[in-house]
Amino acid sequence: MPLFGHKPVSTSARIVPTDTAPLSKDQKAFNGLIKKIGARRARMGEWEDILPIFRQKYASDLLPLQEQCLDLQWQLARALDAAHGTKGITKGEKRKLAELIVELSEAVLAHKDHGELKELFNKHSPSDYDEDEAARLEGMKAMLELTLGMDLGDDVDMNSPEEVLKRVESQFRAQQEAHAEAESSRKRSRQEEARAARQEAEEKQQSQSIREVFRKLASALHPDREPDPAEQARKTVLMQRANEAYEKGNLLQLLELQLELEHIDQAHLAAIRPERLKHYIKILKGQLEDLDMEIQHVEEQLITDFGLPPFKALHPSDLISMLLQDISTCQRQIAELQQQIATAADPKQLKAWLKTVSPHHPPYPDLDLPF
């Protein structure tokens, strides 16, 4: 469940200036944070709306096409292998066929383990596929460890991006904890102690600010004090919302509840004491950071789950169009592969086709799709 949900921020939660009292710097900051949180909630809401549709369409429409592409690449590799042993094929053509078979085999094996395909790779390659793959993964692991300055361990599965990411995060947390422990064991200076004391006092004040708002709500919403059954049910729901907001330290949702219940108004917001307003600003900054992290987590999970380009900006409105584009690409690749398989079965067409082929730029589709 999202931390904040995607209910829009009430515009009445903003502080409105008057002719006689323009907004102070902190009041403007308060309004700016309300606006930013509203935008983040809207963004999170868009993700929540589009992701179920995207996941369903990805599974029903794109995955079967990708599987068909892989199967056709496997069939093409077999057809080229059969042509490799026929009469009339020159040494140069055999060499080119072998290179194409190796590249096809690698392309499919990158997506699924296939014993027969490994045999085909080994038949036409001077090296062994499993040995090559082990060396590649070991080199990747060594480079990652050198870059990050950490030991991933001998048991990490480099074929699993999820496991590698978990191991990196685990090692990073361990490094942070070790650093924190070393810092705490070092004797604090007077300056550090004073700074820590100030921070602790600020945190207590922020917590007190949230607690005061919650207490006023709890006093007004307590369902046991309401004799009317319908009103008691309504207050029970509102009290649950207040409890959830308080447990999360979500000041904005508590203020919105007060506005919804008309326990405060614009005049009340404008009259918040400067010291209290500063605490509110710090709390809202923390909530904005949490919401940014939640959105980042959703987008990073998408990149991991569906192989999206890691450095391309993601937006919910683009997701379905990207998926439709890849469906179209897959359909075109399927038609091309089917034509190439038919070409491989005709010696005359095969020879003509091989003249147009460069093994390092093969004419068959590459399945390294955005998804």
Is 287 inside any structural domain? yes
pLDDT (0 to 100) of residue 66: 93
Q: Mean of the per-residue pLDDT values for the chain?
A: 80
Averaged over 63-78, what is the pLDDT?
94
pLDDT (0 to 100) of residue 219: 77
Highest-scoring range by mean pLDDT, 138-142, 171-175, 243-247, 341-345: 341-345
Is 301 inside any structural domain? yes
Three-class secondary structure assignment of the chain: CCCCCCCCCCHHHCCCCCCCCCCCHHHHHHHHHHHHHHHHHHHHHHHHHHHHHHHHHHHHHHHHHHHHHHHHHHHHHHHHHHHHCCCCCCHHHHHHHHHHHHHHHHHHHCCCCCHHHHHHHHHHCCCCHHHHHHHHHHHHHHHHHHHHCCCCCCCCCCCCHHHHHHHHHHHHHHHHHHHHHHHHHCCCCHHHHHHHHHHHHHHHHHHHHHHHHHHHHHHHHCHHHCCCHHHHHHHHHHHHHHHHHHHCCCHHHHHHHHHHCCCCCHHHHHCCCHHHHHHHHHHHHHHHHHHHHHHHHHHHHHHHHHCCCCCCCCCHHHHHHHHHHHHHHHHHHHHHHHHHHHHHCCHHHHHHHHHCCECCECCCCCCCCCC
Domain count, the chain: 1
Choice between 313 and 343, residue whose per-residue pLDDT is larger: 343
Is 208 inside any structural domain? yes
Is 244 inside any structural domain? yes
pLDDT (0 to 100) of residue 367: 47
Averaged over 63-89, what is the pLDDT?
93
Is 255 inside any structural domain? yes
Residue 195 has pLDDT above 70, yes or no: no
pTM score > 0.85 for this model?
A: no
Is 280 inside any structural domain? yes
Question: Residues 180-193: pLDDT tens digits?
Answer: 666 665 555 666 66
Choice between 343 and 145, residue whose per-residue pLDDT is larger: 343
Is 197 inside any structural domain? yes
Local confidence band at 280 (pLDDT 50, 70, 90 cut-offs): confident
pLDDT (0 to 100) of residue 51: 94
Range with the lowest mean pLDDT among 114-123, 313-322, 353-362? 353-362
Q: Which domain covers residue 280, as residue numbers?
A: 190-306
